[in-house]
Amino acid sequence: MNREDYIKALIKSHGYTMKDFAKLINMPYTTLLSILNGSIGGAAMDNVLKICGALNIRIEDLNNLADKMDTDEPPASETAGIDPQLLKLLQNLPTEKQIALKLLLADK
């Protein structure tokens, strides 16, 4: 999953449509679509800040995601002790549901 797909999934997991999210962050819908269908790396910093701020993520986290995208498999240390059947069910969830679950379980 690339950064753009991650952002799209986060938007959906927060219950927004792309149009509603664009309205929420006061960004033209076409601009949001261009960013998320192209490259967030080429977007204006103000626009990236609006997106990250509304989703409560840091730009650094988004940047770190790019470094971790090389593998779809979580490290063995993260899956140690987890029931294999449960792990398989979790991995088969749609991306937006995986992200929603991570947000629910995150230490905040």
> What pTM value is reported for the model?
0.64
Q: What is the DSSP letter of 32?
A: H
Rounded to the nearest 10°, the torsion over CA 20, 21, 27, 32 is -110
CATH value at residue 28: 1.10.260
**Domain span at residue 77?**
3-105
Residue whose C-alpha is closest to residue 100's, from 13, 18, 3, 17: 13
Rg (CA), the chain: 15
What CA–CA distance (Å, rounded) separates 91 from 1? 13
Total number of domains in the chain = 1
pLDDT of residue 21: 96
What's CA 70's distance to the chain center, in Å?
16
pLDDT digits (tens, 9 = 90+) for 21-78: 999 999 999 999 999 988 787 888 899 999 999 998 888 877 776 555 544 555 555 6
